[in-house]
Structure 1
Amino acid sequence: MAVRNSRVDGVDLVVLPPSRDLGDGFTVRRALPQPQRRMVGPFIFFDQIGPVELRPGTGLDVRPHPHIGLATITYLFDGEILHRDSVGSVQPIRPGEVNWMTAGRGIVHSERSPDAARAIGPNMSGLQLWVALPAAHEETAPTFVHHGASEIPEGRMDGVAVRQIVGAADGLVSPVKTLSDMIYLEATLPPGGRYRVPEDQVERAFYLLSGEVTVDGQPFGPSELVVLKPGAEIVLESARGARLVVVGGEPFPEPRHIYWNFVSSRADRIEQAKQDWRAGLFPAVPEEREFIPLPPDPAPPVRYP
């Protein structure tokens, strides 16, 4: 994974995640974590899924796997994923909707393309982010919540279309309940548009999905995660238009350990989760018989199998 510095005073780091083909043309770009920057606020994992058009008869098949100490946020721009988990949730997610899964002390889930989409060859484009939970809530009960597209508040700020996925900014308040302070929004700039990145959060970053923006004359392009310095006033300008997301939040006072799908403030808790998955002690996903085995030490980078 490449990174580069920026000549803009308010930019701390620019992450250039490479595209990885995981088979059948299914690609992801992973911006977080990486050696130079592990987190932005509570956000510890940032994957761009696709965009990809899969062959008829194929699809996404993420077999049941466990999580602890985090919440996953799935947000699609194209396609459909069927989510199943060990608390009994069965929920398709479609563009503009939000799946928020709190792993807490432990949850198991699968993500697959629905049968109807497989028959014609599914399209897939979206983001999956993870947020680490505050230390006091790492062992909370696992839960799953779905929000339809119509529940996500939208507005226009000087011609810029904004959707407030999580948190509050620009006068919009998301219905998604979180366990720590954070923001996650989608902004679409028209040609000639300008957008001021919200400044309420200590740590912030924006990720270009399409188009191009400039900050103080320096251009940034698609699939770049631009990490900002605390307190910096950042105004994005786009001559031709752009689509991007902004994430941010308060940093935790203690570091986080991450191994495979496990996140915790305690290294011993990660070891316990590894033992529990090997021993089959996590709850099962109803109607699922497959599972992803624990990878060998050291764990390879988190990926869709």
Structure 2
Amino acid sequence: MLDIVIESRKAEIVPGFEVKRILPYQLRRMVGPFIFMDHGGPVSIPTPTATNLDVLPHPHIGLSTVSYLFSGNVTHRDSLGVEQIIKPGEVNWMTAGKGIAHSERFEDPAMLAGGELELIQTWVALPEKDEESDPSFKNYTPEQLPIFTEKGIWMRLIAGEAYGLKNNVSTSSPMFYLHVVLDQGARFGLPGGHSERGVYIVKGTIEVNGINYTAGKLLVFSKGVDPLLIAKESATLMLLGGEHLGERYIWWNFVSSRKERIEQAKEDWKQGRIILPPTDNEEFVPLPKDNSRPAGGPPPEALS
């Protein structure tokens, strides 16, 4: 059974850079451990405005950010001193744990010349036992990520386990995350063994139970249901899900199973206790007011 269809909404993460926001959604806060999902682009960035689209240093707690690019690149810098150019087809997994700050900047000459950028960023909530873990960052190249091909089907396992595929991307809870490309007419089923599963349509149109669904929609399915996805045209999909972790609260860039931990994180950022990236520490995003929708995250709200 199809539980819900989530239509992406427009959100501006920095002035001039609008994305499609998929999660969180009022009627469906999470899919497995996935608590946040943005689809940015495709967009061409003209040189005069590129630096205005940079996401300045900002904090996170209690989650892992997963950045996955289809085109373009972004320079990541964080509190650990990591400086990583994020490229298409890689997995960049930053675990915030007890607290980290990072920035995302557009510095590549090809990007500054008007190159195209398209990316998906998700946040994965951490199990309660890992919420106060030490922060970390890992980059996985495309060669480290298994690919499966069959007539009309191409897919890359980003993280977790699905369809018998497994990789070395370090995760904290049972989950799956895949990039799938289908040729027109291809038929495809969701992976089993997970209680919560979703399909986000990046491009194209797919048919499920005789109904067509177009780009920008996330389809969420009940446990035990084995839907057949039929590509009505060439389609690009992101498949994601896993096991539910329990109640979570989210405010701005902070995620926790405890409300009081969110309040502590606010004060930590105000007092400078979450350090800035050592190579990008001259500016930062200030703590917003409770009723704002700042760059880098959604408004305050409880998730379950």
Q: Distance in 2 between matches of 1:176 and 1:156?
A: 20
What displacement does 1:177 show?
Answer: 0.5
Question: Counterpart in 1 of 2:114?
Answer: 121
What displacement does 1:157 show?
Answer: 4.1
What displacement does 1:24 show?
Answer: 6.8
How do residues 13-24 of structure 1 correspond to structure 2 at under 5 angstroms?
A: 13-20=4-11
Q: Distance in 2 between matches of 1:173 and 1:227?
A: 23
Match of 1:221 among 214, 221, 224: 214
Q: Which stretches in structure 2 are left out of the alignment for 5+ residues?
A: 299-304
What displacement does 1:51 show?
Answer: 0.9
Aligned-partner residue type, residue 284 of structure 1? L
Question: Counterpart in 2 of 1:30?
Answer: 21
SS in 2 for 1:276: helix
Question: Counterpart in 1 of 2:250?
Answer: 258
| Superposed CA RMSD | 1.7
CA deviations on 1:107-159 (whole Å, 9 max, x unpaired) are 00000011424531242101000000000100000000001122111012453
Question: Counterpart in 2 of 1:169?
Answer: 162
Question: Counterpart in 2 of 1:5?
Answer: none
Mean Cα deviation higher: 139-148 or 170-179 = 170-179
| Count of residue pairs brought into register by the alignment | 295
Q: Distance in 2 between matches of 1:102 and 1:208?
A: 26
SS in 2 for 1:38: coil
Mean Cα deviation higher: 153-162 or 38-47 = 153-162
Match of 1:279 among 271, 274, 285: 271
2:81 maps to 1:88: yes
Question: Counterpart in 1 of 2:260?
Answer: 268
The two structures have a TM-score, normalised by structure 1, of 0.92
Name the % identity: 45
CA deviations on 1:20-49 (whole Å, 9 max, x unpaired) are 456675220111002111100100000001
2:193 maps to 1:190: no
The answer as to whether partners of 1:57 and 1:121 remain within 8 angstroms in 2 is: no
Distance 1:137-1:21 versus aligned 2 partners, 3 A rule: closer
What displacement does 1:241 show?
Answer: 2.0
How do residues 1-305 of structure 1 correspond to structure 2 at under 5 angstroms?
A: 10-20=1-11, 25-59=16-50, 60-252=53-245, 254-288=246-280, 289-300=282-293, 303=296
The answer as to whether partners of 2:58 and 2:296 remain within 8 angstroms in 1 is: no
The answer as to whether partners of 1:195 and 1:237 remain within 8 angstroms in 2 is: yes
Distance 1:261-1:20 versus aligned 2 partners, 3 A rule: closer
SS in 2 for 1:168: strand
Q: Distance in 1 between matches of 2:258 and 2:39?
A: 28
The two structures have a TM-score, normalised by structure 2, of 0.93
What displacement does 1:164 show?
Answer: 0.3
What displacement does 1:162 show?
Answer: 0.9
Q: Distance in 2 between matches of 1:118 and 1:58?
A: 11
